[in-house]
Amino acid sequence: MKKPMERLRAIRVSKDDSEDSQPLSPVARVVEKDGEMRWVRTEVNLDNHVRFPVLDPKMESPDKFVEDYASNLTKTPISKSIPLWDVHLLNVKTSEAESTGLFRIHHSLGDGISLMSLILSCTRKVSDPEACPTIPTIKRRNPSNSGGFWEFLLKLWWLVLLCWNTIVDGLIFLGTIFFLEDTKTPLRGSLPLEATQRRFVHRTISLNDVKFLKNVMGTTINDVMVAITQAGLSSYLNRKYDDDKKDNKGAEENNNNLPNNIRLRAALMVNVRPSAGIQAFDDMMKRDSEARWGNQIACVLLPFTIALHDDPLDYVRNAKVVGDRKKATLEAKLNYLVAIFSPKYFIDKIMSKFPSRITLWFSNLPGPEEKISYFGHPVTFIAFGVYGQPNALIIHVVSYANKMKITLSVDDNIIADPHQLCDDLQNSLVLMKHAVRNLIF
């Protein structure tokens, strides 16, 4: 589904402007014709896109400056008179890198899969400067073809379960659009929600630790990241409710301050291309590609368990159950088809109502499997962030070499302490890792 930001109605060049239907986003600008926005080819003038501000290398807090700079970018839209992207090169040393490059790209140009493919095409391996990075792959389960009566019954049961789950998920999604909303928590803003200035904060965790949890618990990396998010949000909200009790009643600190039966859901972004995972950029630009460039994503509603567990691994077990359930549904493809073929007024209704019913957006994207360089400059980390949605919290996860970067995009009028939330997420992984080691040894 298209994200509720500065949306453009057209994503291809009109027939009057081009004879082919190849995506033209990096070298196209937007014009209004017959009341609709259309792409037209244009010449790219790098002076209109690349910003290189002169900075004081001895500034007091470089990390805070970069964070504030990125936040200020969310105040101004990208001009539609030029291709919808710009680059900001901040030559100041932070705690993580010698300098920082901020790429601001309009979401109409492509989704995370497309943009990651584009980034990888511009980079090379640090270990081999002439070689392109290894494309991350996603292994699919190969169904058994041994035949037999019991296998037939199993496949029949799977088909029935798939149909049933899709119907139930479709009804829940429809109900969410019209009346079913999440519990009011400190992570949700007051209605009506509006797109506001965002703040981006990020934290690096060990991908090896995440894989360690995955292998021991027999789950997926995405399930582990959902579990870490559930645990971190639970700790954060528990502290917030404890502060409210102290302010209102002067009560003593309590271990569990969470209300019962909190409904908190995330819109999980899912790639609906036939080919899973990141694809080579050249392959994505082919007309007959199964992993076509563009916006080919949909969202599924992912319920989060907000509770305090004595055993941190209960979050992983719960995430695995929910994850397996979401694998046995066509909710994402159903939502994608609805977005493609529904009338414009219905889609506008969805985009105006849906964000106000849920708490956050969540995505997990695989990145390069080894260290890379960008035009000869080694890359320390890759962090994705999105702004334009009215929700107070958006969480993006992207892997890079042996690291996992968690990025929070927050409305700091509602979430004033996003670094504390990052601490809670990081601490959740530490607790789970210790619990697994105790379980093994």
What confidence tens digit (pLDDT) does each residue in 239-253 have? Answer: 999 876 666 654 445
pLDDT tens by residue, 333-373? 998 888 888 777 777 777 778 888 999 999 998 888 899 99
pLDDT in tens, 149-199: 788 888 899 999 999 999 999 999 989 988 899 999 999 876 656 667 899
Known catalytic residue at 107 = yes
Per residue in 119-155, pLDDT (tens digit) is: 888 899 999 888 888 877 666 555 555 567 788 888 8
Instruction: Note the pLDDT of residue 243.
Output: 79
Q: What is the spatial distance between Cα 377 and Cα 153, in angstroms, rounded to a whole number?
A: 56
pLDDT score at 206: 95
Query: Which pLDDT score, from 0 to 100, does residue 276 have?
Result: 74
User: Which is catalytic among the residues 49, 88, 106, 107?
Assistant: 107
pLDDT per residue as tens digits for the range 1-11: 333 333 332 33
Are 394 and 361 in contact by the 8 Å Cβ rule? The answer is yes
pLDDT reading at 21 higher than 50: no
- pLDDT for residue 92: 93
- Quick one: pLDDT at residue 251? 46
**DSSP secondary structure, 60-125, as one string:** S-HHHHHHHHHHHHTTSPPPTTS-SEEEEEE----SS-S-EEEEEE-GGG--HHHHHHHHHHTEEE
What is the band of 263 on the pLDDT scale with cuts at 50, 70, 90? very high
pLDDT score for 13: 34
pTM of the shown model: 0.86
Residue type at 406 in one-letter notation: I
